[in-house]
Amino acid sequence: MSEEMREMLIKLTKICNRAARNAQEENRRLGIPNVYSINGIMVYEYKGTISMTPPPEWEAFNPAEHAGA
- Domain spans in the chain, listed from the N-terminal domain onward: 3-58
CB under 8 Å to 28, separation ≥6 — which residues? 34, 45
Q: Which residue has the higher pLDDT, 59 or 12?
A: 12
Average the pLDDT over 25-53 and give the result: 91
Q: Is 35:44 a contact under the CB 8 Å cutoff?
A: yes
Average the pLDDT over 30-43 and give the result: 91
| Averaged pLDDT score across all residues of the chain | 88
Average the pLDDT over 9-38 and give the result: 94
**Lowest-pLDDT range, 6-10, 12-16, 32-36, 59-63?**
59-63
